[in-house]
Structure 1
Amino acid sequence: MLKAVILDFDGVVIDSELVWFDIYVDWLEKNLNYNLVMEEFLLCVGANYEKLFQALEQKNNFIIDREKFLVDTTQKFIDLSDQLPPKEGVVDFIKSVKDAGLKLSLATSAVRAKPVKHLTRFGLIDYFDFIVTADDVERIKPYPDLFLKAIENLEIEKEEAIIIEDSQNGVLAANRAGVKVIVVPNDVTKHSKHENYEDKVNSLSEVNIAKLASDFK
């Protein structure tokens, strides 16, 4: 029986990953004369920059200054993403989850301030029973900790939840948590090789929560 929905944030609620991709491309070109391609960027989507930067350093024998990267890019991302709208179908989907009497949690590799800011801006924050972020766990995706924490907070069994994700790192985390996952790719993660998911849709407007709950096993 379906009792709860767990939503990712970046790439699911807002389409922020394309903003980040452009920032990474610009920064690496200016600072290291390196041309980042989408397939490389996907290493960090749903997680953070460390996996990508380690891979680039090993491949190219250069050192990436993490502190400089954060100083140069953090405010730029805030400015560029500040007015991003919710993704197609997100608002109606979130409302339908609560109308169906289901619990709702966010589980994101971002720190708390970002999702809280945007969910408040959208008037959606009160729909969430819990918000689980990188501030609440030791390891972010692709580790399962965020989802396991959400399950614990919701006081349900992992078999009673469904996760909504866009990235393969998120899918891996869901798989490792033992929770079913629906994939909603965006302009970045559509390039990922998604594996081991329950369903894949173009947007959350395609997900009928009543039907999902009735068909859930």
Structure 2
Amino acid sequence: MKKYILFDNDGVLVETEPLYYKASKRALKEFFDVDVSFEQYMKLMTDGKGVWLAAPNATKEQINIARNQRDKYYQDYLKTENLAIENIHKILEKLSKDYKMGIVTTSRRVDFEIIHKNRGITDFMEFVLCVEDYPKSKPHPDPYLKGAKLFNARKEEVIVVEDSQRGLISAYNANIDCVIVHNEFTKTQDFSKANYFINTLKELPRLLSSL
């Protein structure tokens, strides 16, 4: 029986992934005159290698400057674009009656706090783990292993909710069941290792009740 839910953040609880791509693409073009395609970007992100490999001749110093500007662009988008996922509060309120929940994200804490300011989503969560809170990021198992540990839960009691291949592999490597929620941004990725699939987050309560 599942008792605990570990949510990815971007693309699951808020719609931010297209904005990160937009900011990264803008910085690559501005600093390195590189037009990174969506397919190339997704491969780099799935592999966990970072978008700056799209500019192979860039120096470490140049990348640091470009990264800082990318982060500024991203934060500007977070403050001005619509990030909401439909009925998210009703879904989480329903789930909170039967499950304890946490967020495990590769977002930086500073970005996470901008995203969730006055949004009310974290009110339903026991904890939030950001990229600074574990040794190795997704697709390594560390993030979800730490989440399960914070719950003091057995792995079979936990389920991960993800929308990306990188996140799925993290859960898979941690030996924790994972449900993939459909996201247009990541729909072409390989989800063959997923345990379950749903079209929208509102299907999650019914899925969990059937397990």
Q: TM-score, normalised by structure 1?
A: 0.86
Aligned counterpart, 2:67 = 70
Map of 1:76-155 to 2, 5 A cutoff?
76-83=73-80, 84-100=82-98, 102-155=99-152
In 2, Cα distance between equivalents of 1:99 and 1:161: 16
In 1, Cα distance between equivalents of 2:183 and 2:166: 14
In 2, Cα distance between equivalents of 1:53 and 1:114: 19
CA 1:111/1:27 → structure 2, altered by over 3 Å: closer, same or farther? closer
Aligned counterpart, 1:214 = 209
**Counterpart amino acid of residue 103 in structure 2:** L
In 2, Cα distance between equivalents of 1:154 and 1:46: 27
Between 6-15 and 63-72, report the one with greater CA deviation.
63-72
Aligned counterpart, 1:188 = 185
For these two proteins, the number of residue pairs brought into alignment is 208
Q: Structure 1 regions of 5+ residues with no counterpart?
A: none
After TM superposition, give the deviation of residue 115 of structure 1 in Å.
2.6
After TM superposition, give the deviation of residue 78 of structure 1 in Å.
0.9
SS of residue paired to 1:106: strand
Determine if the alignment matches structure 1 residue 157 to structure 2 residue 157: no
SS of residue paired to 2:139: coil
The answer to which structure, 1 or 2, has the higher relative contact order (CA under 8 A, 6+ apart) is 1
CA 1:91/1:44 → structure 2, altered by over 3 Å: closer, same or farther? farther
After TM superposition, give the deviation of residue 44 of structure 1 in Å.
4.6
SS of residue paired to 1:205: helix
Q: Is the 8 A contact 1:168 1:195 kept in 2?
A: no
Q: Percent sequence identity over matched residues?
A: 21
**What is the CA RMSD across the aligned residues, in angstroms?**
2.1
Q: TM-score, normalised by structure 2?
A: 0.88
Map of 1:23-34 to 2, 5 A cutoff?
23-34=23-34
CA 1:166/1:40 → structure 2, altered by over 3 Å: closer, same or farther? same
After TM superposition, give the deviation of residue 10 of structure 1 in Å.
1.1
CA 1:144/1:150 → structure 2, altered by over 3 Å: closer, same or farther? same
Q: Is the 8 A contact 2:78 2:115 kept in 1?
A: no
**Counterpart amino acid of residue 79 in structure 2:** D
Aligned counterpart, 2:8 = 8
Between 143-152 and 117-126, report the one with greater CA deviation.
117-126
Q: Is the 8 A contact 2:108 2:132 kept in 1?
A: yes
